[in-house]
Amino acid sequence: MSESSEYLYDVFISYSQPERQWVEEWLVPRLEQAGLRVAVDYLDFTVGMPRIDNIERAVVHSRRTIVVMTPDWLESEWNAFEALLLRTTDPAARQRKLLPVLLIPCEPPDVIAALETVDLTVERHWEKQLGRLTRDILDVIPVPPPWKGGGVRDFAQWKRWVRRYRRDLRRGAVALCAAWLAGSLTLQIPPFQPRQVWTSLGLHAPHATELVRTGDVLLAGGENVEFGCDHLEQGLWRSVDGGVTWQPVHAPLCFERPGQGQVLANIVGFALADAQPMRVYAATSDVGLLRSDDAGQTWYRTGDTGLESLQLVAVAVGPDDADRVFVAAQAGGIYRSIDGGQHWRRLDQRGAGAPACGSGRVLTRTMSVGALLAAPGKLLIGTGYPLDLTDAHVPAGLYASADGGECWEQVDDGGGHYQYVRVAQLAAAPGQPVLALIRDWWKEPGSGTWGLWRLDVSSSPARRELLWAHDHTVGALLVQDGTQPRWYAATDLGEAVRGSVDVPAQVERLPRITRCLLPPACDVALAPDVGAGPPMLLAGGRVFALKHGPWWRRVWP
Domain spans of the chain, in order of start: 9-142, 152-193, 196-265+473-557, 267-471
pLDDT of residue 358: 64
* Residues 16, 20, 26: CA angle, nearest 5 degrees: 125
Q: pLDDT grade, residue 6 (50/70/90)?
A: confident
pLDDT of residue 2: 41
Q: What percent of the chain has pLDDT over 90?
A: 39
Higher pLDDT, 399 or 1: 399
Q: Kindly list the strands in the beta sheet with 542-549, ordered across the sheet, starting from the edge strand earlier in the chain.
A: 195-200, 542-549, 536-539, 524-527
pLDDT of residue 23: 95
pLDDT of residue 255: 84
Instruction: Provide the residue type at 163 as one letter.
Output: R
CA nearest 525: which of 470, 477, 455, 456?
477
324 phi and psi angles, rounded to 5 deg: -95, 100
Are 307 and 288 in contact by the 8 Å Cβ rule? The answer is yes
Q: pTM of the entire structure? A: 0.70
Convert the pLDDT of each residue in 27-82 to its tens digit. Answer: 999 999 988 999 999 999 999 898 888 888 888 899 889 999 999 988 886 666 66
pLDDT at 4 over 50: no
Q: Kindly list the strands in the beta sheet with 507-510, ordered across the sheet, starting from the edge strand earlier in the chain.
A: 474-480, 486-491, 496-500, 507-510
Q: Going by CATH, does the domain composed of 267-471 fall within 2.60.40.10?
A: no
User: What element of type H or E holds 435?
Assistant: strand 434-440
The three-class DSSP label of residue 17 is helix
What is the torsional sign of CA 420, 422, 426, 429?
Answer: positive
Instruction: Please give the Cα distance from 512 to 509 (Å, whole number).
Output: 8
Instruction: Please give the Cα distance from 95 to 89 (Å, whole number).
Output: 9
Higher pLDDT, 396 or 546: 546
Convert the pLDDT of each residue in 101-142 to its tens digit. Answer: 999 999 888 878 888 899 999 999 999 999 999 888 888 777
Question: Regarding the domain with residue range 9-142, which homologous superfamily does it belong to in the CATH classification?
Answer: Toll/interleukin-1 receptor homology (TIR) domain (3.40.50.10140)
Parallel, antiparallel, or unpaired for β 267-272 and 261-264? unpaired
Instruction: Please give the Cα distance from 263 to 286 (Å, whole number).
Output: 10
Instruction: Please give the Cα distance from 542 to 523 (Å, whole number).
Output: 10
pLDDT at 3 over 50: no
pLDDT at 428 over 70: no
The three-class DSSP label of residue 128 is helix
User: What element of type H or E holds 336?
Assistant: strand 334-337
The three-class DSSP label of residue 6 is coil
Q: pLDDT grade, residue 392 (50/70/90)?
A: very low
Higher pLDDT, 25 or 196: 25
* Residues 311, 313, 314: CA angle, nearest 5 degrees: 135
pLDDT of residue 474: 93
pLDDT at 356 over 90: no
Are 467 and 454 in contact by the 8 Å Cβ rule? The answer is yes
